[in-house]
């Protein structure tokens, strides 16, 4: 009996050790900077599609986010803040739906500024998956954080500059000299439309394909599957039959890159490879509505619909009351502008 008990205790000890090893690093080994982590959660009750959007955003932010974050109805912002400190979480992404208008708030944890975006349109990852004939989305894609590219944010306005800096710091920095090309597998694109003042948010997966190699040969090299030569007289027919090269040979010269290192079996160094992006993940169209100095509190330093005045709002004590009061002031205007 004693032996049995000891064995159980031993197993328990081993379990905790394994769990400890899985802790995420706080500091990037390569660049030495702090790795930014994020929480994605909802404020208030969300309808079904928005809940799904929240899950999609969580997947997007992997690996440096809490995938299975459990939020209860009674959790306040303060609770999240208290947990965020010890865990090293730097950003909050909050989705809320006051008066049936979805908003996304991006905030920097300790005291940071809050950017409030109104989600004008969105498409879920599941919808995009169904709309594509060949949807490729493996869990391995989410083992590394995505790259981010912002376009069109250069034209004046402090708020745009703040947005770029905010988004640039949500994802960890990469060191050009030592990054492995095979780990850059996802990319997030943000495009600012100056006339309509809308930001397009897209999420793609990156795939490299060697240029100038016919599809059949590429398939053999990649999948190591023996091809079907039933209908052919000779192996040379197999190699020469492809004829048109790869199906989209009319690619622009610019979309091909010559790689500095080997990426995988097919894409070798100093060979030309085409960069293929396939959309995964949610699609959003956002409009920057408000910038606050504190975390959902403090001075409002930018207001989309009332640019003349800068007014201060009381600190958020009661979540719902404060939210309603804030949204009211900015929602009267969108109602007006919508009418226009």
Partner 1 sequence: MGKKRAVGADEPTTTSPLDLKTLIREYSLFFDQLVELIPARFFLPNSSDDKPWFPGLSKSQKKKVKAQTRENILKSRRDRLDPTRPTSTLDLLKKSLDEERDSSSDEEDDEDEAIEEEEEEEEEDEKEVAKAQSVALSTDERPVTYEELRERLRRRIVELSAGRNTRPESRLKQERKKEMKNKKKVKVQTKRNQENNKEKEDASAGNTGKRKRDDGNDENFSKNKKKNNVREPTDITFGQVRIDGKENKKRKKKLSKEKELERAKRLEEVKKDPEKGKKVSWKAAVSKAAGEKVHDDPKLLKQSIKREKKRQEKNKQKWRERKETVAKAKAEKQSKRSENIKERIHQKKMRKIEKREKKLMRPGFEGRKEA
Interface residues toward partner 1, by CB under 8 A: 31-34, 36, 90, 108, 110-113, 147-156, 158, 161-162, 164-169, 171-177, 181, 184, 187, 191, 206, 252-255, 257-260, 275, 277, 291, 293, 299, 301, 310
> Which residue number, 38 or 238, has a Cβ lying nearer to partner 1?
38
Distance in Å, CB of 20 to partner 1, minimum: 27
Burial class (CB in 10 A: 0-12, 13-18, 19+), 51: middle
Least separation in angstroms between residue 10's CB and partner 1 is 40
- Closest to partner 1 by CB, 254 vs 338, is 254
HEC secondary structure over 106-162: EEECCCCCEEEEEEEEEECHHHHHHHCCCCCCCHHHHHCCCEEEEECCCCCCHHHHH
154 vs 245, beta carbon nearer partner 1: 154
Please, which residue, 228 or 252, has the CB nearer to partner 1?
252
Which residues 6+ apart lie within 8 Å of 45 measured at CB? 97
d(CA 135, CA 308): 47
User: Least distance to partner 1 from the beta carbon of 160, Å?
Assistant: 10
Query: How far apart are alpha carbons 98 and 104 in whole angstroms?
Result: 11
Least CB distance from residue 299 to partner 1, whole Å? 6
N-to-C CA span, the chain: 81
Q: Which is nearer to partner 1, 33 or 85 (CB)?
A: 33
The 8-class DSSP code of residue 182 comes to: G
Q: Sign (positive/negative) of CA torsion 80, 37, 106, 161? A: positive
């Amino acid at each position: 009996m004693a032996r049995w008990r000891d064995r159980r205790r031993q197993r328990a000890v081993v379990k905790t050790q394994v769990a400890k090893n899985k802790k995420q690093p706080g500091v990037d080994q390569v660049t030495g900077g702090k790795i930014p982590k994020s929480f994605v959660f909802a404020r208030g009750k969300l309808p079904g599609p928005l809940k799904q959007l929240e899950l999609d955003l969580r997947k997007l932010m992997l690996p440096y986010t809490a995938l299975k974050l459990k939020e209860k109805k009674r959790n306040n912002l303060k609770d999240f803040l208290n947990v965020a400190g010890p865990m090293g979480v730097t950003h909050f992404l909050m989705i809320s739906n006051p008066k049936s208008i979805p908003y996304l708030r991006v905030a920097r944890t300790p005291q940071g500024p809050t950017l409030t975006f109104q989600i004008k349109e969105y498409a879920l990852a599941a919808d995009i998956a169904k709309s594509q004939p060949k949807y490729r989305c493996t869990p391995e894609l989410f083992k590394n954080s995505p790259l981010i590219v912002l376009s069109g944010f250069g034209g004046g306005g402090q708020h745009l500059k703040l947005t770029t800096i905010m988004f640039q710091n949500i994802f960890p920095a990469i060191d050009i000299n030592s990054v492995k090309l095979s780990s850059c597998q996802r990319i997030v694109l943000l495009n600012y439309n100056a006339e309509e003042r809308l930001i397009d948010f897209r999420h793609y997966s990156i795939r490299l394909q060697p240029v100038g190699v016919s599809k059949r040969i590429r398939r053999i090299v990649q999948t190591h599957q023996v091809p079907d030569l039933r209908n052919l007289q000779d192996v040379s027919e197999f190699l020469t039959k492809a004829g048109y090269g790869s199906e989209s040979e009319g690619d622009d010269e610019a979309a091909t890159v010559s790689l500095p290192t080997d990426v995988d079996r097919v894409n070798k160094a100093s060979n030309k490879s085409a960069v293929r992006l396939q959309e995964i993940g949610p699609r959003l169209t956002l409009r920057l509505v408000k910038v606050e100095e504190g975390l959902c509190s403090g001075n409002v330093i930018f207001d989309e619909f009332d640019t003349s005045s800068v007014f201060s709002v009381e600190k958020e004590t009661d979540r719902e009351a404060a939210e309603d009061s804030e949204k009211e002031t900015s929602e009267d205007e969108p109602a007006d502008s919508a009418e226009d």
